[in-house]
Structure 1
Amino acid sequence: MKAKDIMAKEIITVKQDATIREIAKVLIDNKVSGVPVVDNNGGLVGIVTEGDLLFKETNPRLPEAVNILGAILYYDGVERYNEDFKKLIAGQAGEIMTDKVVVISEDTEIAEIAKLMIKHNIKRLPVVKEDKIIGIVSRADIIKTFLT
């Protein structure tokens, strides 16, 4: 089986200028844990998840550092801290979204989809054709195949 056999074809999306409140409403109203972000032409530019929104209620994770003779040297986590802080102050989808989205094609095999989800610790994969989102495959879609 391939992505095209199990993907949801009615995709709920938000635009880059959607507010945090609007995103939260879309997630709750549609009982989904993430939503693709599209540009004005319908091209996929990112994804916003419940996890991204949780940053609004937390403090950024501090980078790991060592103090040597009064100088603080950061050796891990500076990029993560910057990303956390960006999400903390975000007000719109374009500011809080994850823009490095793992995507699949409609011909991607289910086994490969499952591997990608595990490898990247993600719950859904957008199905893209010619830079446009044409579907989405969630973990639940894969689990449903066990019943057939």
Structure 2
Amino acid sequence: MTALVLLVVAAPVCFYVAFSDLRSMRIPNWTVVMLFVLFAIFGPVLMPLPEYGWQLLHMPILLILGMVVNAVGLAGAGDAKFLAAAGPYLWVADLQVLIVIFAASLSAAYLSHRLAKYTALRALAPHWQSWSAGRKFPMGLPLAGTLVIYLALGAF
């Protein structure tokens, strides 16, 4: 039940994050704040307070990790902030499953983005900045996809 409720509240934000990153190569700060606020509102209702506290601890840990990854140039700042805001939604015990979901999501996102970029599908959204971002890739797409798939698997 917890995963289902979190899926319902987080999925619209995740879809917007993916769209925004594809369109403008940016993850707006308000979406990251919204994702965290939704967990802050629904988390205490859905889980015991000690568990909720442990889940909240994921955010600063992932934010620090994301800052390091951003500092060495492996990801954008928006990606790091999104990962931190998504942290409370993720259970540490599911780390192996998360890695598999992320790998599949990243592969599918990259392949489908590049396929669309070099085919007539690009005409459906000709002004997206992600088409001409060179080697940069809109990581908001696989990150948001990973969170949605993870919560959906937990819910169903």
**TM norm structure 1:** 0.28
Greater relative CO, 1 or 2 (CA 8 Å, sep 6+): 2
Q: Which has the higher helix share?
A: 2
Q: Which has the larger radius of gyration?
A: 1
TM-score, normalised to structure 2, is: 0.27
* Larger fraction in strand: 1
